[in-house]
Amino acid sequence: MNFFLSYVILAEIFAIMALSTNFLVGVIGIFSVSQAALMGVGAYAYAVAAMAGLPFPVALLLALVLCAILNVLTSLPSLRLAGDYFVVTSFGIQLVATAVFINWSDVTGGVSGIAGIPAPSFFGVSTEEPRNFIVVTTLALIAAATGYALLMRSSYGRVLHAIRLDELAVVAAGRNVLRLKLGISAVSGAYAGLGGALYAIFLSFIDPSSFEIHVSVLILTMLVVGGARTLSGSIIGPFILLSIPQFMALVSLPPTMVGPARSLAYGVLLVAFMLLRPQGIAGRRL
């Protein structure tokens, strides 16, 4: 049943990524198509640290902290601006990150990537097998989801929602909006770092192509289909989107038509959701 397990594991990892995106896109309304870049930083940080022999908790912490810091730094320019300018800044960050993954080959292994990333063992049990690793990803998702829910219910979370609805009012109420936004960027970054580290462990191999722009777009699509700004939406979306190729694999199509037809289906899905149900399956109005 590894086929089913690997589907669930990847969906859980992407659910963490969708939550990371949700903080920005859903909660404070910052558009982002550079989540995959951050995920990549987390994955590479974990891989390099783990390959150097650092224990699992240290390597994971390193990935989380690095991503949090980087997300704050890269968000700074966009936080000073509004509207669609983000899209481009975000696109830029994504492309630069990919160029760095490819060309900083002393650290990242360049296009050949890093192979043989070790999976941690807990209480003498290796998580190399999907049936063991799924415990790790499930616990991680539960922790991430709990964190998201608690944060949204706190007074801090309510102020964040207020920023999206009326930024000026929040400023008028004497709150430091920039600091609030930077705070949530750090949290979003740490989530992405967690997702990236888990991804690196699961595949035992990473390379720049796993963190390209289309992955960022896929994460965004997952969030949108599931429904932005809700916890359940971030979890439903990845499970649905990752199941599409699995189902299409069960249907016999003429071989040369399989690929473009599936990508076409993604496109149709995106347009259809925006036209018919822009709030996604479980979400609220975008």
Partner 1 sequence: MPTCFTRLAAGAVSLLAIGLSGTASAQEIVIGAVLPLTGPAAPTGIEEQTGVQFAVDGINAAGGIRGRKVKVIYEDSQGKPDQGVLAFNRLVDLHSTPAIVTAFSSISLAMAPLATRKKVFVVNPAAQTNKLATASPYLVNTIPLVADEVAVMTKYAVAKLGKKAAIIYENAAAGIDARDDFKKAFVAAGGEILADEAVEFGQTNFRPTLLKVAAAKPDFVFIGITVGAPTMADQVAQVPGFPIAIGTTFNRPFSGFASTAGWFHTGIKSGIAPEAEAEFNNQFGTKEMGFFAREYANATQIIFKIIDSLIAKNIPVTGENIRTALFEIKNFDSPTAKIVFDSNTARREIEVLKLVPPGREVVETGTN
Partner 2 sequence: MLLLQLLVDGAVSGCAVGVVAITFAYVYATTGVFHVAHAGLFTLGGYIAWWLSGQGLPFPLALMGAVAVGAAVGAVMQKAIYETLMKRRASPLVQLIASLGLLAILQNLVALLFTPNMLQFEAVSWRLSMLDIGPIHLSLPQIWTLASSLAILAGLVLFSTRTILGKRIRAVSSNRALAEITRLRPFDVYVVVVAIASGLVAVPSVFIGVDQAMQPYTSVLVLLTAVIAVIAGGIGSLPGAFIISVVLAVLQNLVLALMPGRWSIAFTFMLFIVFILIKPTGLFQTRLKRAS
- Type and span of the H or E element at 126: strand 125-126
- Type and span of the H or E element at 18: helix 2-22
Between CA 199 and CA 243 the distance in angstroms is 18
Shortest Å distance, C-beta 4 to partner 1: 8
Binding to partner 2 by residue 268, rule CB under 8 A?
yes
The SS3 of residue 281 is coil
Binding to partner 2 by residue 258, rule CB under 8 A?
no
Binding to partner 2 by residue 278, rule CB under 8 A?
yes
Residue pair 126/132 in contact by the 8 Å Cβ criterion: yes
Given the rule CB under 8 A, which of 56-64, 68-76, 113-121, 182-190 is the region that contacts partner 1?
113-121
Between CA 74 and CA 92 the distance in angstroms is 10
Binding to partner 1 by residue 262, rule CB under 8 A?
yes
92, 147, 157, 245: which one contacts partner 1 (CB under 8 A)? 245
Given the rule CB under 8 A, which of 59-67, 117-125, 148-156, 259-267 is the region that contacts partner 2?
259-267
Residue 195's identity, in one-letter code, is G
Between CA 163 and CA 30 the distance in angstroms is 11
Shortest Å distance, C-beta 14 to partner 1: 10
How would DSSP label each residue in 198-264? Answer: HHHHHHSEE-GGGGSHHHHHHHHHHHHHH-TTSHHHHHHHHHHHHHHHHHHHHS---GGGHHHHHHH
Residue pair 159/33 in contact by the 8 Å Cβ criterion: no
Who contacts 162 (Cβ-Cβ below 8 Å, separation ≥6)? Answer: 169, 170
Residue 270 interacts with which of partner 2, partner 1, none, CB < 5 to 8 Å by class:
partner 2
CA angle 245, 95, 285 (to 5 degrees): 60
Binding to partner 2 by residue 111, rule CB under 8 A?
no
158, 173, 246, 271: which one contacts partner 1 (CB under 8 A)? 246
Shortest Å distance, C-beta 82 to partner 2: 5
Residues 130-159 that bind partner 2 (CB under 8 A): none
Q: How many residues are given for the chain? A: 286
51, 248, 281, 286: which one contacts partner 2 (CB under 8 A)? 286
Binding to partner 1 by residue 239, rule CB under 8 A?
no
Shortest Å distance, C-beta 263 to partner 2: 4
Shortest Å distance, C-beta 141 to partner 1: 18
CB nearer to partner 2: pick between 135 and 261: 261
Binding site for partner 2 (CB under 8 A): 25, 29, 31, 77, 80-85, 87-89, 91-93, 95-96, 99-100, 102-103, 213, 217, 220-221, 224, 256-257, 259-261, 263-264, 266-272, 274-275, 278, 285-286
